[in-house]
Structure 1
Amino acid sequence: MSGSNVWSRSREKMRLFPELFAQCTMEATAYGKCVAATTTSRQELKKDLCVKEFEALKTCFVNAAKKKGR
């Protein structure tokens, strides 16, 4: 496996990120609000507190990427 191929694929994915993110603003907002609400007063984010919101955001990104790949 060539190292340059790995970097090329990574760069391409990073170039698509803003476009995919724009398609998932509602999910990103919900996740951000959950994180902000659970980390008030300098608390650390605990695992699985916002899992529902994270999974929705992840699903949105995956679906947006699939649409982009068509």
Structure 2
Amino acid sequence: MKDKNYAKTSFLKRVLVNCSAQAKQYGSCVSSRVPEVEQDMCLKEFLALKSCMQNVV
């Protein structure tokens, strides 16, 4: 069980390190449009973050 939790933490750490720029861009896009948040308004930034996260090894 301990190894499983370590693997999850390690993966999350790699995602945060490798995708911090994309996360910042997405967060900035969303926060700049509050309270007028709409579906897909930051789609380009979201897709970049999603792609980064899916490609973390």
TM-score (normalised: structure 2): 0.75
Indicate which of 30, 40, 46 corresponds to 2:38. 46
Alignment of 1:21 with 2:13, yes or no, is: no
Distance 1:30 1:13, change over 3 A: farther
- Measured after TM superposition, the shift of residue 44 of structure 1 is 4.8
Q: Which ranges of structure 2 fall in alignment gaps of 5 or more residues?
A: none
Distance 1:46 1:61, change over 3 A: same
Bigger share in helix: 1
Identity percentage of aligned residues = 32
The 5-angstrom pairing of residues 49-64 of structure 1 reads 49-64=41-56
- The Cα RMSD (Å) is 1.9
- Measured after TM superposition, the shift of residue 60 of structure 1 is 0.4
Number of aligned residue pairs: give it.
53
Q: Which ranges of structure 1 fall in alignment gaps of 5 or more residues?
A: 1-7
TM-score (normalised: structure 1): 0.63
Runs of 4+ in 1 over 6 A off after TM superposition: none
Q: Which has the higher contact order (CA 8 A, sep 6+)?
A: 2
